[in-house]
Amino acid sequence: MSGEAGYAKPLPAVTHEDREFWAAAREHRFVLPQCQACGHVWFPPYASCPSCLSFDRGWTEATGRGTVWGFTIMRQPYIGSFEPELPYNVVLVELEEGPMVYSNLIGIDNADIACGLPVEAVFEDATDEITLIKFRPV
Amino acid sequence: MSDRDFAGQTAIVGIGSSDFARLYRTPDPERTGEAMATEAIAAAIADAGLEKSQIDGLITGGLAHYEPVAYRTGLTDVRFVVDYPQAGRMCAMALMHAATAVHHGLADYVVLFNSVAFRTQGTKFGAQPQGLLYDTIYGMASPGAQYSMGFTRYQAEYGGTEEQLGAIPVAIRSHARMTPGAIMQQEMTIDDYLDARYIAEPLRLFDYCLVNDGAVAYVVTTAERARDLAHPPVLIAGTAGRANFREWYVDLGFWDEACGSMKADLFDPLGVTTDDIDCLQVYDNFSVSVLWGLEGFGFAPKGQGLEWVQDGRIALGGELPVNTSGGMLSESYLQGWNQHAEAVRQLRGQAGERQIPDCDWSLYWCLSALPGASLLCRDGVL
């Protein structure tokens, strides 16, 4: 997939804490921060380990697999740029590695979404710099 | 706090509220946060039968902060000042702070308030900045969508229907219709509830609290001083907090752990049980918050809360009336403060046609990123 021209929806405000995460996503890799001192894996990519407070942060490749914890179907235009897609889904995915991530499910009717559904990550290039991680049923 | 010796040593002695319905009908940009706070403070001090000069503690919240309010109210020489951020989750925390302050002599009479102008400011609760988990880039918007996501999970684990959930807003609306100043006065049936539009499916319009303007203030002092004042004292039996910060907002166990912790802090030192509680005045930002608190505090069996709230059980006249002035779903979104004002009226025996007979105990909770709770009672029952 290549970046859409004139992508109008919100984009992440990339900071020093998550620059490497988004750089990996651009290469269609899903990485999670991992503590080099204690091995803990966390998300979002804070600069330090929430378990042992070490700043010795590395990265580990995520499997991209997880299950849907919960979902909602957005029916009102809270964010103008999403209005053409109403009604659209938002899911909270529990990754195999433990962390929770928000995303959208693609390749499924909203009516078929269910908690516990096994899903895997897919990469959608939004702009030349940003690639979003979405999910589809396994 | 789990301190038997502290229980009942402090009291709420005065309450003051805006006319929420009038402010809702006629939004007035000159009614600023400070102006509404000033009116509520004046009403609370008068209700307590105090002179303004006796107030020596000030806890501010919501839209109006300590210096602007101190100048407008003349409360410029006080011994104890705290300024809370605008957030409903701070309601129980502010009461906890006021009670500890007067108990330890940091102040004799603390006035505390919340003041909001969500309607005149055109606050859009969906248009939040990017969340910590990048939710906005996926179109996730508004706290209601978070609770909606929790409800799909709850239904997957325990079952239950949207129609059953509607029993909560329907009961609370019936109370607003008996409350002067409550914003939503029209009757609402379960069909009206189901006919309303989805906001974040499966939650509908009437699962959401109001967006309005107004202020509520109260005065807190020691129980000893309270017994010399205008009204029967309403004792602070306890307050509790249990941080539950999760980047994804809704706790994966629907706040069971937080509720259990706060219940133990509030009930165990006093030997109080759920059977003792005469009414709940709780944080109904969304209908599902009521459901999860009923289960978390053990009023309803786990997973059976939706069945439990049917057939008028939580309406006035039922086994356990909830939000007897209409809560935030139908009276006013004053973020827990209007619930405390109603608890005071019920425990004083001043709730008019809404009065619960022999009302001795009232419980408050707020399920959010920072859960809080408080237990109030009539003098003499501890």
Residue B286 has what DSSP assignment?
A: B
What is d(CA B6, CA B266) in angstroms, rounded to the nearest whole number? 11
Whether the Cβ atoms of residue B166 and residue B194 lie closer than 8 Å to each other:
yes
* Residues β-bridged to residue A61: A31
The backbone region for B59, taken as left when phi is positive above 0, alpha when psi lies in -120 to 50, beta otherwise, is beta
Find the farthest-apart pair of alpha carbons in chain B and give their distance in angstroms, rounded: 58
What is the pLDDT at residue B1?
47
In order along its 382 residues, chain B shows pLDDT tens digits of: 456 789 999 999 999 999 999 999 988 888 899 999 999 999 999 999 999 999 999 999 888 999 999 999 999 999 999 999 888 889 999 999 999 999 999 999 999 999 988 888 777 776 666 678 899 999 998 899 999 999 999 999 999 999 999 999 999 999 999 999 999 999 999 999 999 999 999 999 999 999 999 999 999 999 999 999 989 999 999 999 999 888 898 999 999 999 999 999 999 999 999 999 999 999 999 999 999 999 999 999 999 999 999 999 999 999 999 999 999 999 999 999 999 999 999 999 999 999 999 999 999 999 998 999 999 999 999 9
B283 carries an active-site annotation: yes
- Whether the per-residue pLDDT at A1 is higher than 50: the answer is no
Q: Tell me how far apart the terminal alpha carbons of chain B are, to the nearest angstrom.
A: 16
Nearest residue on chain A to B130, alpha-carbon basis: A12
What is d(CA B176, CA B337) in angstroms, rounded to the nearest whole number? 16
Give chain B positions within 8 Å (CB) of A13. 130
pLDDT digits (tens, 9 = 90+) for A15-58: 999 999 999 999 999 999 999 999 999 999 999 999 999 999 99
Mention every residue, 6+ apart, whose C-beta is less than 8 A from residue B304.
Answer: B158, B295
B249 carries an active-site annotation: no
* Residue ranges per structural domain of chain A: 14-61, 63-138
Chain-centre distance for alpha carbon B218:
13
pLDDT digits (tens, 9 = 90+) for A8-27: 999 999 999 999 999 999 99
What is the pLDDT at residue B131?
73
Residues of B with CB under 8 A from a CB of A: 124, 126-127, 130-142, 145, 148-150, 152-153, 156-157, 197-203, 247-248, 250, 252
What is the pLDDT at residue A74?
98
The DSSP secondary structure of B11-78, one letter per residue, reads EEEEEEE--HHHHHHS--TTS-HHHHHHHHHHHHHHHHT--GGG--EEEE-TT--HHHHHHHHT--S-
* Residue ranges per structural domain of chain B: 10-122+210-378
Can you identify the CATH homologous superfamily of domain B10-122+210-378? Thiolase/Chalcone synthase (3.40.47.10)
CATH number of A63-138, picked from 1.10.10, 1.20.120, 2.40.480, 2.40.50: 2.40.50
Distance from CA of B126 to the nearest CA of A (A): 5
Chain-centre distance for alpha carbon B309:
19
Residue corresponding to tokens 């039922």: B318
